[in-house]
Structure 1
Amino acid sequence: MLLKEMVEESGVEVLLRANVVQTVMKDGAVRGLLIRTKSGESLVLAKAFVDASGDGDVAALAGAQFMLGREGDGLTQPITSYFRVLNVNVPALIADCEANRADMWEVVYPKEAGNRNEDYAMAVLLTGFQQRIKDKVAEGFDGIIPKDHITMKTGLIPGEISVNVTRYQGNGLDDRDLSRAEIEIRKQAYCAFDFLQRYVGGFEDAIFLEVAPKLGVRETRRVTGHYILTEADVRGNGRFDDAIGLCNSPVDVHEPGGSRAIMDHVGIGYGIHWRTLVPLDVDNILVAGRCISVDAIAFGSTRNVPACTMTGEATAIAAALAAKRNVPTSAITASEVQARLKALGVWLGTPDEDVPDVLK
């Protein structure tokens, strides 16, 4: 609700269900977009543009270079969707995980909580069940469990669990792959629910509520910018003079083409280069969110919410400055964006910045 109120107060016009079908270019710069809605096609002109589509659709239409998938085979991280379950006995579930602690990677819950589901709302994270999956499949469970582990979290409703276990290997830019993923992921969700009811404590009386209404597409285009943030930058806590945000999201990579995943913490964090938001070859457009300029492993960190939020804020500032001055986005410098971010109290990830180590 707060976000909606902020949008309304800003005076921004929001047009939902609009697809960009073409860019209007002049002298290598984006000047307008041809969009298609239920009302038909319309031309939208603007002074500055930000592609926060996640897939880099607009930048690609404008002719920007991009990377797709890992080196060697081009495979991307798999598509997924959470599913939600109600009426789980959360204390019994936690007791099951503690009794099988060797098979669990993460068992996070409030130690002071009691025996009510209400005590655990939005406070539990469980990852593991790897050996249990292997054992039950060997004993004859023939449902689809596409990952070698299961992650689950409690929700706002007492007894609500969101489960992350579905996985479909496909191209998030291909309509047929996306359609197959919608169908296959739902099959996987019902199989996983069957597994949980049979073999995991606390799920005996659970109720399957829903599969997420939108596919979770982890990876598509990474638009090539004037700098490519690397795995070494992320793991090495890189600091850069033109950084616009300090990010410490773990490197979270779900194995392309496989069933495994890695989750590596990166310490106090790394700076996100301003130049990762500025595409090569195309002017007057910036990129934010999942499609910024990073390599395949660094992407495991930057695809998550903190980096998407930081890059969205930085590009919004730059686009507003460009529009106000009636200049292309390339005329806006990193230092100008940093000045505004500093005024807002943002940690930038620059070399001289004094950042407290919140991990200590």
Structure 2
Amino acid sequence: MAFRSVFDAVALRNEFENAGISSQFIPIIWKHVRQKPTSELDEIPSLPAAAYPILRSKFKVMTSSLTSAAKSKDGLTTKLLIRLQNGNLVEAVIMRYDPTLGKYDGKRRPGCQRSTLCISSQVGCKMACKFCATGTMGFKNNLSPGEIVEQLVHASRFADIRNVVFMGMGEPLNNFIAVVEAIQIMMGSPFQLSPKRITVSTVGIIHAINKFHDTLPNVNLAVSLHAPDQDIRCQIMPSARAFPLGRLMEALHAYQEKSQRKIFIEYIMLDGINDLEQHAHQLGKLLQTLEVVVNLIPFNPIGTSSSFRTSSEHNVKVFQKVLRGTYNIRTTIRQQMGEDISGACGQLVVNLSEQRSTGSVRLLADIEDLHI
């Protein structure tokens, strides 16, 4: 019988309520597990006697295990490979930011080193984006809320996590209920993450975007747009056929009118496909009535079979100049981290499954800008 994670909040709460045990004891369990993830359930103190047999028979302290933790040479990135109870693997990546290493709007970043966790929501992905390592895996299964939260528990052993971004393996809004439950746990005791420091990225699942603000107020929304028109989107993102660009933009306008929050636009730069000056003008016109931050992502090929090429530095800078200068859209060129440890989401799992050594695909990670 498969056990549930103690971080599967709804399941644990239902079991406690059926046994007449107050749900106020659940944060006590979570705090203990966060501090001692290798402990046994019987070691959790101060619970009613009736709680222990329920925990022993139906739940585990941690249903997942840490298989490996690869640290980049610069010490700023750690990639965690996590094995689930069903044997599948997922990845989470810790990115550390040092204010002495970069500038923000011309000024040193304030504060001391802080860490962002890039988290997975599915094993594989249904979206099959042609430039994404995870997209080559196909879809295997959704993660439970507990399996999502356990990634944060594993990561907390290596760094004090301040920000969480759902930009790892999977399409978060295709696992909406579990992602919402996991985020609600992260915002409560003992994690106490601010919703403004949590970002959920999507390729544009319109029906989920329509309920995003009401369900997750103050949580950041990022959209993997990657093209300024429907034809190019369909060429590189097959799922775009189900979510036409016109309807997606209507959903984003409605979301922003309701939430009054910036939207973060992810845009991967592909040589000769979506990186020309004319594409920058198309994108500027598409986005100019929204309050957005555009992150231009330098592409790095996945293995040797990719048909895409990396945009030239010149094209990327011209693209940024058009968006900033002509359309007054804040635009960043995303920093790369974890190059030496196969940082891009899905790359480590793909490498293992294909018996390849770690490649040069890089983690797309200027994510700290989303939270300042």
TM-based fold match above 0.5: no
Query: TM-score category by the smaller chain?
Result: under 0.3
Q: What TM-score comes out, normalization by structure 2 length?
A: 0.24
Q: What TM-score comes out, normalization by structure 1 length?
A: 0.24
Higher relative contact order (CA 8 A, sep 6+): 1
Structure holding more helix per residue: 2
Larger Rg computed on CA atoms: 1
